[in-house]
């Protein structure tokens, strides 16, 4: 596609991605989504796959499974309710699908993931002190649960790719301004972004955000995104007091090393970065 065509299609698919994010438990209707994109239903699927790098069904399944895992770990919703919101009327079918993604059946996943953080367990995560270079991000804002930022990343990647700002080694970054244990869910502020050149032309949709060069404590977490809460808890309750280091006046951010579209959740790698004074 020509650059102008990519930008045109990205803008048309924006309302589709917004609808999918806010209706994760609804079955998408091809004609409705095509209408939102002002496209022919005959060609919508092909254009979507060309722009997003995955099928519509793959996007929906990935979003639903992430939300299902978060619900299992953080709520008391019944397995039947979680399965229904994920699009499965059969508990057995949901068990198979969930197990194929997370490697555990839903019940065992809930048991393992919902245990509160216990400092006596002496959980350890690899942490390094690194001097990171300054980077510029092309971002979109998100307000609300951090567990629901995933679709915003999808939009960022699509918009950045449409402007030729994405390369084969491009990585996503999330910036998180608030502590979810202290700030009400609906007031949490975050950014979904991708690294770009400092002088990149971002267009009207994306916003520029600069992370300054500096020293950081970097915790490497391996596993599903919704399971990072214990790593944060350990970092602040155990590692930071023992380190003798002070934090800088800048928010936490995360670097996502691999692609969630093609990486099993158990193998996802996230670099959790704590700016240091």
Residue 63's domain is classified under what CATH number? 1.10.10.60
Query: What local confidence, expressed as pLDDT, does residue 89 receive?
Result: 87
My answer on whether 106 and 214 are in the same domain is: no
> 152 vs 18, 78, 94, 95, 193, CA distance in Å?
8, 28, 26, 28, 9
Same domain (yes/no): 143, 102: no
Task: Reply yes or no on whether the pLDDT at 122 is more than 60.
Answer: no
- Mean pLDDT across 108-114: 83
Rounded mean pLDDT of the chain? 91
Q: What percent of the chain has pLDDT over 70?
A: 96
Which tokens go with 102?
């997370």
Asked if residue 102 and residue 132 are part of one domain, the reply reads no
72 half-sphere exposure, CB direction, 13 A CA radius? 29
- pLDDT bin (cut points 50, 70, 90) of residue 261 is confident
Whether 46 and 168 map to the same domain: the answer is no
In this structure, the answer to whether residues 98 and 137 fall within a common structural domain is: no
Tell me which residue range forms the domain holding 55.
Answer: 3-113
Domain count for the chain, please give it: 2
Over residues 151-176, the mean pLDDT reads 91
Average pLDDT over residues 40-64: 93
**Phi, psi at residue 139, to the nearest 5°?**
-130, 160
* Final residue belonging to a domain, choices 90, 113, 136: 113
The answer to the question of residue 120 being in a domain is: no
88 with 169, same domain: the answer is no
Same domain, 108 and 159: no
Average pLDDT over every residue of 196-225: 95
Q: Assess whether 131 and 265 both reside in one domain.
A: yes
Which of 113, 146, 167 finishes a domain?
Answer: 113
Q: Are residues 109 and 218 in the same domain?
A: no
Check residues 24 and 130 and name the one with the higher pLDDT: 130
CB 82 within 8 A of CB 72: yes
Which domain-ending residue is among 82, 113, 144? Answer: 113
Tell me, yes or no, whether 252 and 156 share the same domain: yes
Task: Report the pLDDT averaged over residues 232-248.
Answer: 92
User: Same domain, yes or no, for 87 and 48?
Assistant: yes
pLDDT of residue 176: 97
Residue 119 resides in a domain:
no
Q: What 3-state class would DSSP assign to 276?
A: strand
Q: What pLDDT score was predicted for residue 167?
A: 78
CATH no. for residue 158? 3.20.80.10
pLDDT digits (tens, 9 = 90+) for 6-49: 899 999 999 999 999 989 888 899 999 999 999 999 999 999 99
pTM of the model: 0.86
Same domain, 137 and 223: yes
- pLDDT, position 116: 66
């Amino acid at each position: 596609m020509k650059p102008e065509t990519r930008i045109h299609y990205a803008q048309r698919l924006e309302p589709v991605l917004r609808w999918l994010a806010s209706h994760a438990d609804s079955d998408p209707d091809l004609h409705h989504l095509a209408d939102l994109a002002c496209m022919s239903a005959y060609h919508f699927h092909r254009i979507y796959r060309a722009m997003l790098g995955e099928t519509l069904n793959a996007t929906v399944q990935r979003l639903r499974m992430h939300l299902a895992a978060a619900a299992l770990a953080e709520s008391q919703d019944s397995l039947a309710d979680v399965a229904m919101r994920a699009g499965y009327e059969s508990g057995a079918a949901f068990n198979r699908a969930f197990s194929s993604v997370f490697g555990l059946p839903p019940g065992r996943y809930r048991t393992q993931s919902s245990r509160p953080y216990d400092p006596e367990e002496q959980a350890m995560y690899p942490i390094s002190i690194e001097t990171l270079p300054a980077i510029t991000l092309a971002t979109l804002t998100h307000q609300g649960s951090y567990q629901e930022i995933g679709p915003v990343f999808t939009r960022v990647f699509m918009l950045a790719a449409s402007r030729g700002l994405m390369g084969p080694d491009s990585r996503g970054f999330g910036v998180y301004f608030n502590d979810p244990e202290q700030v009400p869910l609906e007031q949490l502020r975050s950014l979904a972004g991708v690294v770009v050149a400092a002088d990149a032309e971002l267009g009207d949709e994306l916003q520029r955000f600069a992370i300054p060069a500096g020293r950081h404590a970097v915790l490497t977490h391996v596993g599903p995104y919704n399971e990072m809460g214990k790593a944060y808890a350990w970092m602040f309750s155990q590692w930071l007091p023992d380190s003798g280091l002070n934090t800088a006046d800048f928010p936490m951010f995360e670097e996502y090393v691999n692609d969630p579209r093609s990486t099993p959740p158990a193998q996802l790698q996230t670099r959790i970065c704590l700016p240091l004074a």
